[in-house]
Amino acid sequence: MIPRILVLTGDTAPGSPSARLALEATRALSLTDVALTGASLADYPLPFFEGPGGGEAPQNARLLAQRLALQDGLLIALPEINAGPPATLKNALDWVAAAADMDRAARPPFARLVVALASAGSGREDGRSALWQMRATLAALGAEVLTAEFRLSAAEAAFDAKGRLAEAGDRARLDDLVDRLLDTSRALGRQGA
CA 50 to chain centroid, in Å, comes to 22
What are the distances in angstroms from CA 144 to CA 24, 67, 91, 108, 189? 23, 17, 20, 13, 11
Residue partners of 67: CB distance under 8 A and separation at least 6: 6, 37, 39
Kindly report, residue by residue over 85-126, the tens digit of the pLDDT. 999 999 999 999 999 988 877 789 999 999 999 999 887 778
Three-state DSSP class for 169?
Answer: helix
Q: What is the pLDDT of residue 104?
A: 77
Categorize the per-residue pLDDT at 168 as very low, low, confident or very high, splitting at 50, 70 and 90.
Answer: very high
142 within domain boundaries: yes
Confidence (pLDDT) at 96: 96
What is the arithmetic mean of pLDDT over 166-180?
97
Helices (H), the chain: 17-30, 59-69, 87-102, 128-140, 168-187
Query: Contact, 7 vs 37, CB < 8 A?
Result: yes
CATH number at residue 47: 3.40.50.360
Residues whose CB is less than 8 angstroms from the CB of residue 98 and which lie 6 or more positions away in sequence, other chains included: 49, 52, 57, 61
The verdict on residue 192 lying in a domain is: no
Is the Cβ–Cβ distance between 119 and 79 less than 8 Å? yes
Q: Return the higher-pLDDT residue of 190 and 21.
A: 21
Report d(CA 44, CA 41) in Å as an integer: 5
Return the DSSP state at 41.
G
Residues spanned by the domain of 95: 4-187
How many domains are contained in the chain? 1
